[in-house]
Amino acid sequence: MLSFRIRGKNGIYYIRGTIALGRKRITVKEFSTGTSDRDAASHLMAEYETKLRHQLMFGPAAIVAQGKIADAFESYLTKAKPPCPSDVLRIGKLNGLIGDFSLREPKQAWEHFRRAYLTGHDPAGQDRYRSVFQAAINVHYDLHDLPPLRIKAIPFDNERVRFLSREDRDRLIEAYSPHIQPIITLLAFHGPRIQTALQLVWGVEGVDMEQGSIRLNHSKNAVIRSVPMHPRVMDVLRPIWEKRGQPTKGHVFLNRLGKPYSDTRKAKIPGGNPIRNQHASACRRAEIEDFTVHDWRHHWASHCVMAGIDLITIMNMGGWKSLRMVQRYSSVSVDHMREAINKLN
């Protein structure tokens, strides 16, 4: 049974004791009710005892089933490694629409959210919400020793592979504004994501001109690797480095105002690609169609394959988390070999 103790000069009631059901027992360490009102404390103790007896009868699942989806979101947001800002925003949207739903039926709550909010969203965006929702539920389940929830992924085409010929590549790079060209050269010859490129710093933590290497912080997958610098990239970065007095710290790329580009990955409200407009203008001038800023990453990986670099090395240099993510480029090698064979007389 649970019992009271009064502690402190304010006469606060504390609860402690043991709840037993057959051979099952739960020992309750002493905790404060937060009140000196005996009736209020008695009510709290009765509710808590009922909850514990229910747990002894039906297991941890019973406790979880009594909660709301919002409880899972709270567990997810307060875990040891908090989610990225964009996922925090997604949790806010999810919580606003289905936070009051019961944890007894998480899949029904998810389907309600899809119908209420995700109609018209592209499949990839929908699947990101699904992934965050599932992760939040599973963090909460893990705290209560329950098996994980699995919600079927929303299929979407993530196999796009778009690359340019060497001639089109150079023509497009030349079509960019001069202060953007070094950024694009890095994208074309090292393949980082755009924010990875924009947040590069001078020195051993980023662009090391003395060693001729680049340390790419692929924060999306928490992989940091130093790779040799391509000669074309060295050629465009050296004048910048020397003009600034050969710095060993500070951002490599600055905007037109001489300020570092904002890191949209850390923003409370994620912004768009800061060079999207310049990219669109350059594509028009170079008469290049259907080529996004992110396609520079596909371009780099595709040309690595055509140069005979193995997929494991491409995965490591490009910061992909698994080989599966780069296997899409293997077909490029087949097409490239076919073109080479067809050139034979």
- 23-79 per-position pLDDT tens digit: 788 888 888 988 999 999 899 889 888 877 776 766 666 666 678 999 999 999 988
Per-residue confidence (pLDDT) for residue 269, from 0 to 100: 46
The reported pLDDT for the residue numbered 319 is 83
The topology under which CATH files domain 166-342 is hpI Integrase; Chain A (1.10.443)
Cβ pair 334, 223 in contact under 8 A: no
Please tell me the predicted confidence (pLDDT) of residue 28: 87
Distance of CA 104 to the CA centre of its chain: 28
DSSP 210-274: TTTEEEEEEGGGTEEEEEEPPHHHHHHHHHHHHHTTS-SSSBS-B-TTS-BPP-GGG-SS----T
pTM value is 0.60
pLDDT for residue 222? 45
Boundaries of every domain in the chain: 2-58, 69-143, 166-342
Instruction: Read off the pLDDT of residues 101-119 as tens digits, 9 standing for 90 and up.
Output: 999 899 999 999 999 999 8
Q: What is the pLDDT of residue 263?
A: 82
Residue 162 to residue 300: CA distance in whole angstroms? 10
- Listed as ranges, residues in the chain with pLDDT below 70 are 55, 57-65, 80, 156-159, 218-225, 265-272, 333-345
CB-CB contact of 209 with 246 (8 Å): yes
